[in-house]
Chain A
C-alpha cells in the first residue's frame, strides 16, 4: 500500500494468567495473528465485541505493552522489537485518545498543562511558546482560550473529550489511536465529536485507528474496517464493501444485530445462539464455530486462513472463496 503510515503483520500477544515457579503456566491469547495496514489520511476501524482483542491491539501499537510476536512498522520504523529508549519517535508520531473522558485527564493539572504535556516531553519550547500552541489548539477543537486555566473536572464529558483530542493533536502526530472515543458520550455530543474528528482528518491529514464496538459509528467514520472475534480478524476490507456485502457469518450476524433508528426497517434478525466464549477457554479450530450457522467438522479442526476474495475484501472462513 503506498503511503502506509502503519503496517501490522502477524501480531500476537499472550498474557500469562497463572503459574509461577512451581505451577503449570497458563496463557490467554488476546491477539492472534493480526495483520492490517493504514494509509495516510484514512481511518481504519477495528470493530468487535468483548474479548475480541481490539483494545489490546491498540495498546500494542503504542507499545504500552510489548508484543509476543509479529511486526509493527510505524512511519517506516519497526517498533515491535525496539527497546524502550528507541521509542521516542513513535510516541510523537502516534498518540492516543481514550474512552473515558473523566479518567484520562489528570484531575490535578490545569488544562494548559494537560494539553501542553506532550510538548513538554518532546520539544524544547519555552513555557510561553507551549502556552501559545495550547491556546491555538484549544480553538481548533472548539474550546476557548479562557479554558486554559481551569481544571478538567470543570468541563462536561464532551468538552473533556475535546481536551483529550487537543492533547493528542498538539505534537502533530501522523496516527491517532482512538479507543472507543465516543462510547461514553451522549448521542448529541457524540455527533459533535465525530464531526470534529472528521474535520481534523481533512485539515491535518491524520490517520485514525478507530477502535469501537458500535457499528453505526464505525460505518460513519471509517474508510476501511477489520472485524475481530476472539483475538483474530475474521473479515477485513473497504467499509462500503463489507457493509453492503458481508461475507463472514459473524460479520453478517453483527451487522444484522445492530438496531437501526428507523422502525420501518425492522428486519428479521440473525440472532446468534450462545454466549461469546471466554478467551481463556477458546473453542478449537475456528473460534466462531460454536455459534456459527454454517459450522461443520472442518471448522472444529482447522483455523481458517485469511483469503482475499476481491480487491477490497478478505475473509477468514472455510466456506468463503
Chain B
C-alpha cells in the first residue's frame, strides 16, 4: 500500500527524556519558596479542618465559667473567650467552616462564571453583550455591599453566605475566562478542529478551556482569600454564622467588646484570618510566576 521510499525517507528524531507537563510544573513551582511554605501551611490547615474536632484539646462549645477571658497560657494556647471557651479549639473547628464556606462559594462561582465566560467569548454577538452587560451591573456594586444585599434578601445563615459570595464572584470569573477565550480562539489548532467537524462543545472543552486553566487556577487561589474575608465580614456583621458557632468572623465580632481589656479574644481569630488569606495569596503569586504565559515567555 505504501511505497518503501516514503517510509524510509524520514528519520526519527532522537528525543531526550519524555516530556510530562506535571513534572515541568513541579520543577518550576519548587523554586517558589514562599509559595511552597504557604502551600504547606494551607495543607496543614486542610488536614486540621478534617480532623479538627478530634484533636481539639477542649470542646469548642462548652463554656467554663471558672476561666473567663484568660490570656494565652500553657493550658489554653490562645486563651479563653467571654464564656470561658478555649479559643484555640474554636479556631481549629472554625477552620473547617471558613474553608468549607470559601471553597464552596468560589468553586460554584468558578463553574458558573467559566461557562458564561466561554459562551460569551466564543460565540460573541448578542449573547456576549447580554452576559457582559449583566456582569457590568454586578460589578458596579462594591463587593461587600452586594453580598449584604443578597443575604438581606435571603436571610442570614451560612448557606446564604455561600450563595452571596458565589454570586459576587461570578462576574470576575466570567470576565477572566472571556478574555482568555478570545485569545484562545485565535489559535490555528482551534480552526483545525472546526474544519475537522468538531462540535462547539468539543472545541470549547478540548481546545479552548484548557487554555484558560492556568489563569483560572491563579485566580481561584486568590479568590479564596477574598471569599474568606467576605464570609468573615458577613459573619462579623451578624449576617452569617450564628454567634455560638466558632466561625472566625463571628469570633471577631463577639470579641469586639473586649478589645480594650482582653484583646487576645480578637487578635487570635484575626491572626488566623490574616495568615490564611496571606497564604492563599502567596500561593497565587507563586502559581502566577510558574503558569502565567505572559511571564513565562519572557
Query: Is there a direct interface between A and B, measured as CB atoms under 8 Å apart in the complex?
Result: yes
Which A residues contact B (CB, under 8 angstroms)? 62, 64, 87-88, 90-92, 95-96, 98, 100, 103-106, 108-109, 117-118, 121-122, 139-140, 142-144, 147, 149-151, 153-156, 158-159, 162, 164, 167, 192, 195-196, 199, 202-203
Contacts of B1 in A (CB 8 A): 140, 203
- A106 near B19: Cβ-Cβ < 8 Å: no
Q: How far is the CB of B34 from chain A (nearest CB, A)?
A: 28
Given contacts A121-B198, A143-B10, contact A103 B187 (CB under 8 A): yes
A-B contacts, 28 listed (Cβ < 8 Å): A88-B197, A90-B197, A91-B197, A96-B195, A96-B196, A98-B192, A100-B188, A104-B189, A104-B192, A105-B189, A106-B187, A106-B207, A109-B206, A117-B196, A118-B197, A121-B196, A121-B197, A121-B202, A122-B197, A140-B7, A142-B10, A143-B12, A151-B21, A154-B13, A154-B15, A195-B5, A196-B9, A202-B3
Which B residues contact A (CB, under 8 angstroms)? 1-3, 5-10, 12-13, 15, 18-19, 21, 187-189, 191-199, 202, 206-207, 210
Q: Given the complex of chains A and B, what is the CA–CA distance between A192 and B197 in angstroms? A: 29
Which 8 pairs, one residue from A and one from B, show the smallest C-beta to C-beta distance?
A91-B197, A142-B10, A103-B188, A106-B189, A199-B6, A96-B195, A104-B188, A62-B195
Given contacts A62-B195, A95-B195, A122-B197, contact A142 B19 (CB under 8 A): no
By secondary structure, the B interface counts as helix
Contacts of B193 in A (CB 8 A): 106, 117
Given contacts A96-B192, A142-B7, contact A155 B13 (CB under 8 A): yes
Contacts of A151 in B (CB 8 A): 19, 21
Q: Given the complex of chains A and B, what is the CA–CA distance between A105 and B207 in angstroms? A: 10
Q: Given the complex of chains A and B, what is the CA–CA distance between A143 and B8 in angstroms? A: 9
**Residue of A at shortest CB range from B193?**
A117
- A192 near B18: Cβ-Cβ < 8 Å: no
Contacts of B8 in A (CB 8 A): 142
Q: Given the complex of chains A and B, what is the CA–CA distance between A293 and B93 in angstroms? A: 88
By secondary structure, the A interface counts as helix
- A156 near B192: Cβ-Cβ < 8 Å: no
Contacts of B198 in A (CB 8 A): 117, 121
**Residue of B at shortest CB range from A118?**
B196
**Residue of A at shortest CB range from B15?**
A154
Contacts of A104 in B (CB 8 A): 188-189, 191-192
Q: How far is the CB of B27 from chain A (nearest CB, A)?
A: 16
Q: Given the complex of chains A and B, what is the CA–CA distance between A142 and B1 in angstroms? A: 13
Given contacts A139-B7, A142-B6, 17 further A-B contacts (CB under 8 A): A64-B194, A64-B195, A95-B196, A96-B192, A104-B189, A106-B207, A108-B21, A118-B197, A121-B196, A140-B7, A150-B15, A151-B21, A154-B13, A167-B196, A195-B6, A199-B3, A203-B1
- A150 near B6: Cβ-Cβ < 8 Å: no
Cβ 8 A contact of B6, one of A149, A155, A196: A196
The CB with the most chain A CB atoms within 10 A, among B8, B12, B195, is that of B195
The CB with the most chain B CB atoms within 10 A, among A64, A153, A162, is that of A64
The CB with the most chain A CB atoms within 10 A, among B188, B207, B210, is that of B188
Q: How far is the CB of B215 from chain A (nearest CB, A)?
A: 15
Q: Given the complex of chains A and B, what is the CA–CA distance between A100 and B210 in angstroms? A: 21
- B10 near A162: Cβ-Cβ < 8 Å: yes
**Residue of A at shortest CB range from B191?**
A64
- A192 near B7: Cβ-Cβ < 8 Å: no
Contacts of A91 in B (CB 8 A): 195-197
Contacts of A96 in B (CB 8 A): 192, 195-196
